[in-house]
């Protein structure tokens, strides 16, 4: 009999991928994914620990789920509650202390064991806690990935050895691990056979991927581009220090590689970059951007920023604003610095008041917003290849993504989902671009 599974995902794309893989792991045991938690037999919260706000959301969500669980219990039914992901990894036992009605707590490295954990608590066992970093990589135990639509994420690397001073990732996801090339290629082939046209390779430090002397990310992208059906490639998230000559050349040589790169710089101030332990300064970042654009002139860059890092002065912040304008980022994610337990930056003196962070964030976001707008406007009249991936509101309308991830809608009778079509951008709407057949 089918059992209902509801997964709520917080945080990054790696978590979106992990959630899909957890569903794949549970499918052979009769679990089908549901859109709502109300009647679920198993609810998984796949959590994020990157900022305090993200971590706290989990506990308010758990409060709501507790009531659903009680309501089901009154009907004589059982809802199992699992907390997965980075909050589970970082807080472990503490999750069970704060929310004793939780049945399973599992870290990002043990979800291949989910069926076993579910089985154990179903038999009436006590809550299960599994936040180990097992010797055997979970990837070896996952069933074949099931595709949903024309785009897919594919995790090729996990964990991080960079230890930026503000970041919990090296602690929650562990040391860098790279999947073998053959495993990645096999997963990509399976996805392509199921209709996937665009692959986004995932890793916390994805461009550090290396699997033996011949296999770096450029070689992997080249091999993936040769797979029948794969028309577009992206990779995320990259660290500037690990972006070498071969990858820059791949941007020149591989038409499948989209001209849009998320390459976080975090700050424009050399002093702050040093305190963040980023391993590069603003000038090195600038030169990298120049080399990438020389290789691929239509390349656009996006970035993450942290404002209000401990000790950040008005001058440092101005350096960030200047760099944003100079590089011309077209898309960004910016955050107020959030001190995370166990990270070196949390212990630094000179933590800034929230009001300062708030004001700087608003100023930075206003600038970034203007740049995104300007970029969208500059796209009007341009021809772009758009991957159609969803039906639109009207019968002959389809939605898709531009090479720059902009949502595009077009009236294109006779076109089908899964096709890459050349379109001319005709207008900019608040949340999308409108196109006409080219």
Q: What is the 3-state secondary structure (H, E, C) of the chain?
A: CCEEEEEEECCCHHHHHHHHHHHHHHHHHCEEECCCCCCCCEEEEEECCCCHHHHHHHHHHHHHHHHHHHHHHHCCCCCEEEEEEHHHHHHCHHHHHHCCCCCEEECCCCHHHHHHHHHHHHCCCCCEEECCCCCCCHHHHCCCCCCCCCEEEEECEECCCCCCCCCCHHHHCCCCEECCHHHHHHHHHHHHHCCCCEEEEECCCHHHCECCCCCEHHHHHHHHHCCCCCCEEEEECCCHHHCCHHHHHHHHHCCCECCEEECCCECCCHHHHHHCCCCCCHHHHHHHHHHHHHHCCCCEEEEEEEECCCCCCHHHHHHHHHHHHHHCCCEEEEEECCCCCCCHHHHCCCCCCHHHHHHHHHHHHHHHHHHHHHHHHHHCCCEEEEEEEEECCCCCEEEEECCCCCEEEEECCCCCCCCEEEEEEEEEECCEEEEEEC
Look at residue 55 and give the partner it binds from ligand SF4, ligand 5AD, none, a contact being a CB closer than 5 to 8 Å depending on partner kind.
none
**Min dist. Cβ of residue 335 to ligand 5AD (A):** 4
**Min dist. Cβ of residue 302 to ligand SF4 (A):** 15
**Min dist. Cβ of residue 159 to ligand SF4 (A):** 8
Question: Considering only residues 160, 181, 292, 386, which one is a binding residue for ligand SF4 as defined by CB under 6 A?
Answer: 160
Compute the distance between CA of residue 13 and CA of residue 86 in angstroms, rounded to an integer.
13
Q: Binding site annotation covers 12? A: yes
Chain positions 190 to 209 lying near ligand SF4, rule: CB under 6 A, are 204-205
Q: Binding site annotation covers 178? A: no
Look at residue 170 and give the partner it binds from ligand SF4, ligand 5AD, none, a contact being a CB closer than 5 to 8 Å depending on partner kind.
ligand SF4
Binding site for ligand 5AD (CB under 6 A): 50-51, 166-167, 264, 266, 304, 306, 335, 337-338, 340
Two tokens, residue 38: 């109300």
Look at residue 160 and give the partner it binds from ligand 5AD, ligand SF4, none, a contact being a CB closer than 5 to 8 Å depending on partner kind.
ligand SF4
Q: Which stretch binds ligand SF4 (CB under 6 A): 1-9, 26-34, 163-171, 365-373?
A: 163-171
Binding status of residue 169 toward ligand SF4 by CB under 6 A: yes
Look at residue 162 and give the partner it binds from ligand SF4, ligand 5AD, none, a contact being a CB closer than 5 to 8 Å depending on partner kind.
ligand SF4
Tell me how far CA of residue 149 lies from CA of 61, 346, 418, 421, in angstroms. Answer: 29, 41, 8, 16
Compute the distance between CA of residue 222 and CA of residue 201 in angstroms, rounded to an integer.
13
Binding status of residue 108 toward ligand SF4 by CB under 6 A: no
Q: Which stretch binds ligand SF4 (CB under 6 A): 93-101, 161-169, 314-322, 330-338?
A: 161-169
Look at residue 150 and give the partner it binds from ligand 5AD, ligand SF4, none, a contact being a CB closer than 5 to 8 Å depending on partner kind.
none
Minimal CB distance residue for ligand 5AD: 304
Q: Binding site annotation covers 164? A: yes
**Min dist. Cβ of residue 210 to ligand SF4 (A):** 16
**Min dist. Cβ of residue 160 to ligand SF4 (A):** 3
**Min dist. Cβ of residue 339 to ligand 5AD (A):** 7
Other CB atoms closer than 10 Å to residue 396's CB: what's the count?
Answer: 12
**Min dist. Cβ of residue 277 to ligand SF4 (A):** 8
Shorter beta-carbon distance to ligand SF4: residue 340 or 360: 340
Shorter beta-carbon distance to ligand 5AD: residue 172 or 376: 172
Binding status of residue 280 toward ligand SF4 by CB under 6 A: no
Binding status of residue 66 toward ligand SF4 by CB under 6 A: no
Q: Binding site annotation covers 379? A: no
Taking Cα atoms as reference points, which of 97, 121, 93, 119 lies closest to residue 107?
A: 93
Binding status of residue 164 toward ligand SF4 by CB under 6 A: yes
Compute the distance between CA of residue 438 and CA of residue 424 in angstroms, rounded to an integer.
5
**Min dist. Cβ of residue 199 to ligand 5AD (A):** 21
Compute the distance between CA of residue 107 and CA of residue 91 in angstroms, rounded to an integer.
10
Binding status of residue 340 toward ligand SF4 by CB under 6 A: no
**Min dist. Cβ of residue 33 to ligand 5AD (A):** 26
Annotated binding site for [4Fe-4S] cluster: 12, 48, 86, 160, 164, 167
Annotated binding residues, written as ranges, equal 12, 48, 86, 160, 164, 167
**Which residues of this protein are in contact with ligand SF4, per CB under 6 A?**
160, 162-164, 167, 169-170, 204-205, 239
């Amino acid at each position: 009999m089918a059992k209902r599974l509801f997964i709520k995902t917080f945080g990054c794309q790696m978590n979106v991928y992990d959630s899909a893989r957890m569903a794949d792991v549970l499918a052979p045991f009769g679990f089908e994914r549901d859109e709502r938690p109300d009647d679920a037999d198993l609810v998984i919260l796949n959590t994020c620990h990157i900022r305090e706000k993200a971590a706290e959301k989990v506990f308010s969500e758990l409060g709501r789920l507790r009531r659903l669980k009680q309501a089901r219990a009154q009907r004589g039914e059982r809802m199992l509650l699992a907390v997965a992901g980075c909050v589970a990894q970082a807080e472990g036992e503490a999750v069970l202390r704060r929310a004793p009605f939780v049945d399973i707590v599992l870290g990002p490295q043990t979800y291949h064991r989910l069926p076993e954990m579910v089985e154990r608590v179903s038999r009436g066992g006590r809550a299960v806690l599994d936040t180990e970093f097992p010797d055997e990589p979970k990837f070896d135990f996952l069933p074949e990935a099931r595709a949903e639509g024309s785009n897919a994420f594919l995790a090729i690397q996990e964990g991080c050895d960079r230890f930026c001073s503000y970041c919990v990732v090296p602690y929650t996801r562990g040391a860098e691990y790279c999947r073998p090339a053959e495993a990645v290629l096999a997963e990509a082939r399976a996805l392509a056979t199921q209709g996937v046209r665009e692959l986004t390779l995932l890793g916390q430090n994805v461009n550090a991927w290396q699997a033996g002397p011949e296999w770096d990310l450029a070689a992997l992208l080249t091999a993936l581009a040769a797979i029948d059906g794969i028309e577009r490639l992206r990779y995320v998230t990259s660290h500037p220090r690990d972006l070498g000559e071969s990858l820059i050349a791949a941007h020149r040589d591989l038409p499948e590689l989209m001209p849009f790169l998320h390459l976080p710089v975090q700050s424009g101030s050399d002093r702050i970059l040093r305190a963040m332990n980023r391993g590069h300064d603003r000038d090195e970042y600038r030169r990298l951007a120049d080399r990438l654009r020389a290789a691929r002139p239509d390349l656009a860059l996006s970035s993450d920023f942290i404002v209000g890092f401990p000790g950040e002065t008005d001058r440092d912040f101005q350096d960030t604003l200047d760099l944003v304008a100079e590089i011309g980022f077209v898309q960004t994610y910016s955050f107020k610095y959030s001190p995370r337990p166990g990270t070196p930056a949390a212990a630094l003196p000179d933590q800034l008041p929230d009001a300062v962070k708030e004001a700087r964030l608003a100023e930075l976001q206003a600038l970034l917003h203007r740049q995104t707008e300007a970029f969208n406007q500059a796209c009007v009249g341009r021809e772009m290849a758009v991957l159609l991936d969803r039906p639109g509101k009207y019968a002959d309308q389809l939605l898709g993504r531009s090479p720059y991830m902009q949502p595009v809608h077009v009236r294109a009778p006779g076109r089908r989902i899964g096709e890459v079509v050349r379109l001319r951008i005709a207008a900019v709407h608040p949340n999308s671009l409108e196109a006409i057949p080219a």
